[in-house]
Amino acid sequence: MAAASSGNMSEAAAVNLNHSTRTQQLLKRTNHRKNKQKSLEDYCQRRSTPCTPQEAAVLTESVLSMILKDMRPLAVVEGEGFKEMHFPTRLHWNELKKATSKISLTTDAWTSLVTESYLGVTCHFINDNWDLLSFTLATLPVEEHHTAENLASWVEKVAEKFHISLHNVLAIVHDNASNIVAALHILKEKFGVVSYQCAGHTLQLVVNHALKDPKIDKALSAARGVVYNTHIRKSEPASTKLKQKQKQMGTAEHKLIQDVAVRWNSSYYMIEHLLEQRWPVVATLSDPEVTQRGKQYLDLKSDQWILLDELKEVLKPYEQATNVLSGQSYVTVSVLPPPLLKGLLKSTQNKSFDSAAVNSFQNSAKEEILYRWQPEVSAFQADGKNVSLIAAALDPCFHKLKFLSPEDALKLQVRIQREALDLKREQRSQLQQENVGQEASASPPTKKRSVLDTLLGTDSEEEDCNEKTDQGEDGENEAVRKEVLLYFGEAPILRDNDPLTWWKNNATRFPTLATLAKSYLAVPATSTPSERLFSVAGNIVTKKRASLTAKHVEMLTFLHSNA
């Protein structure tokens, strides 16, 4: 944006700016970072010359920080005082432009409380410093039907807007909805991008299916009744009485949690809190000040309390797995095949529970895990993309591939070597093109050759050129093979160590594999980053701000998420 205009600012706007506590705090931080720079008041005075770029940068940071951190409407800059100023916006995507490896995207759809639909898209990649970075690309307002063709077109539109070639996108992570699966099939055929289904959504399907036991369903319904069909959540006396009982019994003063149908882990948290607060809750409900004498208070049967206690135990590993897979600042895709899937299957082996329904849950969960995950992450697929397996192989924690059969481990190593060779050829081709362009622009005109010289020199020159090319390729191929063998011969690192730190320290030893590792280890295991966008958007599109246009919602979400 341009600098401040030379016109006078309205007195009211100047007073508001001068007395903005938030702005003053932001300016102090800015001045601490940038020595001897002027305060915002200096910009509110009459100026005969435009702001310098440095001054404009300070002004931009102050105003943008206020809008983004406080989630203020963009119309705040449309007041009379702000109209006389034009604030510069600098959204730098240098890191994304400098990415030397492929990137990955996540996408998901959402509908606001005013029934406006949005498509969220985030991007993820590893930079040269081996930092895993995430950016929000769009919360795109969409008005047409969510057909596969439209979804594919919208993703292309977002990529084009940010100058991202989908040929340079390794994978797009999404949920299991049929329309988005079909959309990714279109993008796969067109650009070769990998369709990677959200591991969190798959885990949701596993648990939901295993919970479909009549006794479990009845116990959960009874628990919901205690939580939100009683006075505890609706009556102030009951809430006060519960707090008194919690203090008397020395129980943590936690509130009860209501579960939601679309998230199984909310049922886990409901059970966890209800079990923790069992006796204060029972004491509260049986208190005559809460439930009148002669009326039966709502409570669970003894066997239901036992069932919920055992259900909490078997759900705990899935809750932990969900939390691990939903991380955004560390590598997640490589942990799915070796430890996580193995750990979940191991947890299903415990079937010594008193409740037959919980034992049934264990059997059903095991079957679902094997059905939904076994083909993808436990065995090499010759005709598949094998994203999780390749990521695990490129993670120095799991690169020994002990979770695979010896035959599949060898196939996977061969696959990685082939991808490394393809990458090396691609790098050499790009380098040759750059060199040709530089030589063409820098070299003086060559002396014109005679027809005889051209004819006599043709065979020998072409042979020399081809021989050099063949020798170069053979040497590079041998170097890549040695690199792969050396890497898989390395000792594994401890699981609590960061694989990106290891690669940062060893990238010069394994340069080709390091580039592959950047591409594969950046793939998120879930589409949670896109879902988090809608949490931000939900805080923006509230009942008091439901009149915000879809475009403003997109802009505010974009700015806040990337602040």
Q: Which spans in 125-177 are helix H?
A: 148-161
Q: Tokens in use for 458? A: 């043709």
Residue 26: per-residue pLDDT: 37
For the ranges 221-235, 454-468, 510-524, the lowest mean pLDDT is seen at: 454-468
Residues 165-178: tens digit of each pLDDT: 999 999 999 998 99
- Contact criterion met (CB below 8 Å) for 362 and 348: yes
Is residue 312's pLDDT more than 80? yes
Residues 6+ apart with CB under 8 A from 236: none
Average pLDDT for the chain = 79
Tell me the mean pLDDT in the region 551-561.
70
The answer to whether 315 and 208 have CB atoms below 8 angstroms apart is: no
Q: Which helix (H) or strand (E) holds 285?
A: helix 278-285
pLDDT class for 330, splitting at 50, 70, 90?
Answer: very high
Question: In which band, very low, low, confident or very high, does the pLDDT at 229 lie, cut at 50, 70 and 90?
Answer: low
Q: Residue 54 above 70 pLDDT? A: no
Cα–Cα distance measured from residue 359 to residue 354, given in angstroms and rounded to the nearest whole number:
8
pLDDT in the model for residue 383: 81
pLDDT band at 124 (very low <50, low <70, confident <90, very high): very high
Q: Is 287 exposed, middle or buried (0-12, 13-18, 19+ CB in 10 A)?
A: middle
For residues 313-342, give the mean pLDDT: 92
On the question of pLDDT at 252 being above 80, the answer is yes
For residue 126, the 8-state DSSP code is E
pLDDT confidence bin for 138, thresholds 50/70/90: confident
User: What is the average per-residue pLDDT within 228-247?
Assistant: 74
* Local confidence band at 31 (pLDDT 50, 70, 90 cut-offs): very low
Taking the CA atoms of 207, 208, 213 and 217 in sequence, report the sign of the dihedral they define: positive
Whether 198 and 173 have beta carbons less than 8 Å apart is answered as yes
SS3 call for 108: strand
